[in-house]
Amino acid sequence: MVTLRKILFYFFVVLYLVLCPLIILYALGYIFTPKVEEGFAKTGLMHFETLPTGASISVANKQYAEKTPTTVRNLLAGAYNVTLSRAGYRPWTRQIRIAPGKAVAFDKILLMPQELKVKTLVSQPFDDLLSVPATRFLLLFKSKRAGDVSVFDWKDETARPLLSANAPFRDAAVIRYFMIKKSSFVLFLVKMGEQTRFLGCQLDKEKPEVKDLSGLFRRGTPSEVRWEGDNPDDLFALYSGNLDRADLKKMKVRKNLLEGIQGFDLFRGKIFALRDCTLLQMDSNGEKGEEAVAEKGVFMENLFRDTGAFKIDFISGRTLCFLGATGEFFANELPYRFVSVGLKGYQPDDGGRKIALWQKERLGVLDFTKEARKKELFERGPEIDWIYEGGEAIAQAYFVYGTSHVLFRDQAEVFLAPVGESGAAAEALVKVREKSAVFYSDKTGRLYYLEPGQGYLVAADILPEWPGLSGMFPEFEAPGQEAAK
C-alpha cells in the first residue's frame, strides 16, 4: 500500500506539473497552431449572450454548432465578420476586431423580431400621449379639451376618462401640466374663457378626484411646480425666481419662501436651490433659514456662467444634474460640464448612474460608473459616448434591456441603438403619430405609442418574454423612466 501510494503520489505530482502550465497557458489564450508561421499563438475570444437565446453563430463564414449564450474561443488576432441569426428575428451583424489575450463580450444582444408584435390597447383616436413618470399611468389626449383626456393604466390595460361626465371643467383647455417622478398626482393648468384654473388630480384613485387648487397659486403661470411624495401635502411653485409653498391640508400659501433663485429641486424633505452661483439648502417647511451647500466662488462662477433658469434634478442620492435654458448641461461629478449648448432632454437609468441624453441631431450616453482612465495627467471623469448622430429632431429616449440599448423617437419614428458599440447603426422600429410622444417600460418590455393612421393606442413588444419581465408589476414603475420632452 505504501509503495502504491508513493507511485501514485509521484504520478499525480508529475501530472500536475505537466497539466498546470498547459492549462494556465490555455487559460491565457495560448494555443498551438499547426501552421508553421504561427507555432504557439496567443488568441482572443468573443462572448455572445442574446435575448432571446438560441441564436446560431457564424464567424468569418464559419458556422458554429453552439447557440447563444456561448463563447467562441481560440481566435487569432484580426477582424472577423460575425452574424448571429435566429428564425423570425433580424440578423445581428458586426465586424469584430480580436486582439491577443483579449475578450470581446456582447452580453446583452437584443434580437429584434422581423415584424414587431403590435397589440391595439385602446381603439379610439388620440392626438397625443403623455406618461406620468415612473407610474403606471399614461394620459391620452384627443384634443386640448380637459374632457377629452383619458387615463390609461398600462398595468391592467384599462382606460377611463380623467373627468366624469358632469365635472365642471370638462370644456376647459389644458394649457400646461406639472408632474414629478413616482407620483400619480398631476397638476393641470386649464383655461376657461379668460380665466385660468389649477386642477389637482390623483390618478390612482378609482374615480380620479379633481380639486380646484387655484386659490393656492398667484396670477400667471409658474415656471415650475414640484412636490415630494405620491400624495403631496405641499406644492412648491416658482414665479420669476420666487418660490411659494402651498399647504394643501391647511389650504394656505407661504409666499416668497426663497427669493431670486434660478431653479430648485426637492430631495428628502429639503429644498435645494440655485441663487447667484450659490447652491442653497433649506428645510421644505421653511422653519430653519437657508444655508449654502456650495458657496459662490471662482469654481461656482465658472460653472454657472449663465444667469438664466436651470432645471435642477437629483437623479440619485449622489448625483445632481443641472439643465440650463439654452441646453447647457452639467452635474456635480467630474468633469462637471458635459454639454455647453443645445441639450434637449435627458433620461437617467433606475440607479441614476447612467444618463441617455440628446440634442436635436444626436443621442448619447453618459456613464458615471465607467472607471477613470489610469495614468492620465488630468483627472477627467466620464465623457458622453455619442451613439447615434444624424437625427432630425430627437425628442425622447428610454433605456431598454437594462442599459444595454437606448430606444429613442426622432420626429415620428422610433429607433433602437445599442450602447457601447461605436459604429453600430440604429435600427428603425416603428412609425408613430406625428407630434405625439411615446412611452417605453422595461418591465413589460413594451413600447406604447399612437399608431400613425387612426391614432389608436397600441403596444409593440420590444423585449421577448423573459423571466425578468413576467409577474413583476410593482405598484409603480422604477424611477427614472421619464419621458422628457
| 203 closest CA partner among 295, 119, 133 | 133
Q: What is the nearest approach in angstroms of other proteins to the Cβ of residue 475?
A: 33
* Residues 40-79 interacting with other proteins (rule: CB under 8 A): 43-45, 47, 71, 73
Q: Say how far apart CA 214 and CA 197 lie, in whole Å.
A: 5
**107, 41, 82, 355: CA torsion to nearest 10:** 40
* Residues 261-280 interacting with other proteins (rule: CB under 8 A): none
Q: What is the nearest approach in angstroms of other proteins to the Cβ of residue 65?
A: 17
Segment near other proteins (CB under 8 A), from 14-22, 108-116, 231-239, 261-269? Answer: 14-22
Nearer to other proteins by Cβ, of 20 and 425: the residue is: 20
Longest alpha-carbon distance in the chain: 107
Our finding on whether 12 is near other proteins (CB under 8 A) is yes
Binding residue for other proteins (CB under 8 A) from 94, 270, 370, 431?
A: 370
Binding residue for other proteins (CB under 8 A) from 7, 16, 209, 392?
A: 16
Nearer to other proteins by Cβ, of 101 and 215: the residue is: 101
Nearer to other proteins by Cβ, of 102 and 380: the residue is: 102
Q: What is the nearest approach in angstroms of other proteins to the Cβ of residue 419?
A: 14
Binding residue for other proteins (CB under 8 A) from 7, 28, 79, 175?
A: 28
| Burial letters 78-114, b for 16+ CB under 10 A, else e | eebebebebeebeebebebebeeeeebebebbbbbee
Are 197 and 172 contacting, i.e. CB atoms less than 8 angstroms apart?
A: yes
Our finding on whether 165 is near other proteins (CB under 8 A) is no
CA distances from 391 to 125, 240, 364, 369, 438 (A): 28, 34, 12, 27, 17
Are 197 and 167 contacting, i.e. CB atoms less than 8 angstroms apart?
A: no
| Angle (CA) 324 325 328, round 5° | 40
Q: What is the nearest approach in angstroms of other proteins to the Cβ of residue 5?
A: 5
334 to 363: interface string for other proteins, x by CB under 8 A? ------------------------------
Q: What is the nearest approach in angstroms of other proteins to the Cβ of residue 370?
A: 8
**452 burial type by CB count under 10 A (0-12 exposed, 13-18 middle, 19+ buried):** middle
- Residue 19 CB: number of other CB atoms within 10 A? 10
Q: What is the nearest approach in angstroms of other proteins to the Cβ of residue 103?
A: 5
Contacts of 189 by beta carbon, 8 Å cutoff, 6+ apart:
174, 175, 176, 177, 178, 196, 197, 198, 199, 221
Nearer to other proteins by Cβ, of 24 and 175: the residue is: 24
Helices (H), 295-403: 298-303
Are 20 and 53 contacting, i.e. CB atoms less than 8 angstroms apart?
A: no
* Residues 72-111 interacting with other proteins (rule: CB under 8 A): 73, 101-105
Q: Say how far apart CA 397 and CA 364 lie, in whole Å.
A: 10
CA distances from 398 to 82, 363, 380 (A): 28, 11, 27
Q: What is the nearest approach in angstroms of other proteins to the Cβ of residue 289?
A: 45
Our finding on whether 26 is near other proteins (CB under 8 A) is yes
Binding residue for other proteins (CB under 8 A) from 29, 455, 479, 480?
A: 29
Binding residue for other proteins (CB under 8 A) from 2, 36, 65, 377?
A: 2
Nearer to other proteins by Cβ, of 43 and 359: the residue is: 43
Which residues are at the interface with other proteins (CB under 8 A)? 1-2, 4-5, 8-9, 12, 15-16, 19-20, 23-24, 26-29, 43-45, 47, 71, 73, 101-105, 370-371
